[in-house]
Structures are given as structure tokens and as C-alpha cells.
Amino acid sequence: MHVSTVERSRPRQPLTRRQRLSRADVRYSPYLYVAPFFVLFALVGLFPLLYTFVVSLNDWNLLTGPGEWVGLANFQRELTDPLFWNSIFNTFSIFLLSSIPQLIAAVAIAAVLDTNLRAKSFWRLSIIVPYVVTPVAVALIFSNVFGEKYGLVNNALQYFGADPIMWKTETLPSHLAIASMVNWRWTGYNALILLAAMQAVPRDLYESAAIDGAGAVRRFRSITIPSIRPTMIFVIITATIGGLQIFTEPKLFNASSSVPGGPQRQYQTTVLYLWDLAFNRQQFGRAAAVAWILFLLIVAIGLINFQISRTISTSATKKSRQTKRKAVA
């Protein structure tokens, strides 16, 4: 605006110059607007990822700096290291223990919230209370709840005459405890996402199905589930990306262990293993190799998820179209 008044006061070729400026404005401004993201991503996202690969090809030490070029030896070393495989096992075990029950619970909760409830917003609010508790606080709280001596859970078990469970020293119990932290914080959040998807289903679909004699269970299986499938896949993909990089919960689960991830690495996840390698043992080259393997693993699982979801969603639309047709008939 300001520019235009200045231009107007100058009689010499006012229009062409303004037009030229304006054309440049139209042509280049969009690039300027999207540039911050791409510049930052290149610097702190893409470059570090690619450079991780370079680091992984060297015998790189934090203190001595870039060392000898060792080719793929770091990869070879990690892929034959039982501690690496232990971390992969722990990561997947905790991931499965948290994602599968969580998804089932979230779908069930969403279905309950999708009914014609009284005080709807109250119930919706109540299930996301855990989401506002920070992961560090969750880890501190649950490492007490699952304390071996005086923990809330073991106290309750002993009250009912059961033996206390060694949550922090046995593998499966520790995985369950860590998975329960993740489940506690995220189930309500994911339930709301799925609820949003359920509410997007046209209600008349349910009504015509009900008129056709489909019971509640049948309606849920044949209408609700196929309709929310894309959202379920979205939830699964985000859970995978986050879950395979789990760090905070196992890191803070047992403060008295000097090895991150438990005295016998019972719940040392891969990112925790990577952390230990890089920042406690200064083995940057090996840690970078671990980072790359995990990166490839996550991307591969993401692609498989994507492929499966594409196949499913095409067959799902076919199915729901059939349901619709049936409803019309």
C-alpha cells in the first residue's frame, strides 16, 4: 500500500515498474512463504539423517572426532551383537504390548462415547486427563506404582494373597509396566481420534441397517469398523513411528539401575541402546549404524502399513458401497 502511493507520485513509467514488482511478488512470494520449512528441514532433518550414514561408516569417537573409515563394519558388528538384538526384541515387545491393547480399548471407548450419552463433553474430557501429564511425570508416577517393594500394584496383589511381581527385574513384567505407561497416556487421545471418525459416518446408514434388522453388533462390524478403517490405519502408523522410538519411559523406569534399561538390559529399547552407545560409551560410529538400521526398519514398516491400508481401503469402499446399496434396496 505504502509502495503504491510512492510510485504514483513519480510520473516516470509508473505502471510498468509497479507491474514488474507486482509480477515478481506474485511469482516468488509463495516460495518465500514455504521456504522456512524446507530450509529448516534440510538443516535439522535431512542433513543429520544423511550424515548419520557417513558417521556410521567410520570408527567415530566423540572425543577423538572422525576416525578411521571402516566401511560397513559398524553395521556388521551391530547386526551380530546380541545386545542390539536384545534392544530390538524389547522395543517390539513393548510396542506390541502397548499398541494392540490400546487400539482395541480405544475403539471400544470411542464406540461408547459415540452413543447418545448424557454429559458428553464431560466424558470426553475425562479420558484425556492422562494426555496432559508429561511423559516424564508419567514415568516417575508409574515407576512408583510398579515399585517392587511398596508399589501400589504389588501392595494390592499381596492384599489378595498373590505373590508380588518383580516389575523392574523381570523381562515380561517390566515390558508390561512400561507398556501400561504408554497405554495410560495415549488410549484416551486415540479414542477421541476414532470417535471423530465414527461421527463422520452418516447416521441414516445405521438407521436403514436397523430397519433391515441388523443388530447393534452387526451394525458395528459392518458399518462402523469399515468406515473408521482409514483413521485406524492413521492411528497405527503414528503409534508405530512413536512406539519404535520409545525412550523416556524405559529411561526413567528404574533410577537405581546404572545401565539404562535395567541391570540386565531387560527393557533397554533400541533408542536407549543407541543413547548408551553414543553418549555414555562415546561410540558414535556404532550408534549411527544403529540409528540407520532403526530408521530403515521404521520406514519399511511404514511402507508396509501404507500398502496394506491401500489394499484394505479399496476393498472397504467396495464393501461399504454394497452396504449402502443394500440399505437403499
Partner 1 sequence: MTAIVDSSTPTRTVTGPRRTRGAGVEARPAWFIYALLGALLVGSTYPLYWSFVMGSSDKSALVEMFPPLLPGSQFWTNVLEVVDTVPFWMALLNSVIVSSVVTISVVFFSTLAGYAFAKLRFRGREGLMVFVIATLAVPTQLGIIPLFMLMKQFGWTGSLGAVIVPTLVTAFGVFFMRQYLIDVIPDELVEAARVDGASMIRTFLNVGLPAARPAMAILGMFTFMTAWTDFLWPLLVVPQNPTLQVALSQLQSAKYVDYSIVLAGAVLATLPLLLVFVLVGKQLVSGIMAGAVKG
Break the chain down into helix, strand, coil percent, rounded to 5. Answer: 75, 0, 25
Among 97, 176, 239, 252, binds partner 1 (CB under 8 A): 252
Interface positions, 81-110, toward partner 1 (CB under 8 A): 109
280 binds partner 1 (CB under 8 A): no
212 binds partner 1 (CB under 8 A): no
Q: Which stretch binds partner 1 (CB under 8 A): 67-75, 85-93, 164-172, 285-293?
A: 285-293
Rounded least distance, CB 88 to partner 1, Å: 14
223 binds partner 1 (CB under 8 A): no
Rounded least distance, CB 76 to partner 1, Å: 19
CB of 280 or CB of 322, closer to partner 1: 280
CB of 172 or CB of 210, closer to partner 1: 210
Distance CA 174, CA 167 (A): 5
163-200 burial, b for 16+ CB within 10 Å, e for fewer? ebbebbebbebbbbbbbbbbbbbbbbebbbbbbebbee
- C-alpha 279: how far from chain center: 24
Distance CA 126, CA 263 (A): 37
37 binds partner 1 (CB under 8 A): yes
Among 237, 312, 316, 327, binds partner 1 (CB under 8 A): 237
Adjacent-strand bridge partners of 58: 69
In the three-class reduction of DSSP (H, G, I as helix; E, B as strand; rest coil), residue 281 is classed as coil
Among 14, 77, 89, 124, binds partner 1 (CB under 8 A): 124
User: Which residues have C-beta within 8 Å of that of residue 170, sequence separation ≥ 6?
Assistant: 266
Among 255, 300, 304, 308, binds partner 1 (CB under 8 A): 255
# residues contacting partner 1 (CB under 8 A): 106
Interface positions, 44-83, toward partner 1 (CB under 8 A): 44-49, 51-52, 55
Interface positions, 125-144, toward partner 1 (CB under 8 A): 125-137, 140-144
Rounded least distance, CB 162 to partner 1, Å: 14
CB of 52 or CB of 169, closer to partner 1: 52
294 binds partner 1 (CB under 8 A): yes
Q: Output phi, psi for 141, to 5 deg.
A: -65, -50
Distance CA 273, CA 265 (A): 9
CA-nearest of 159, 322, 168 to 254 is 168
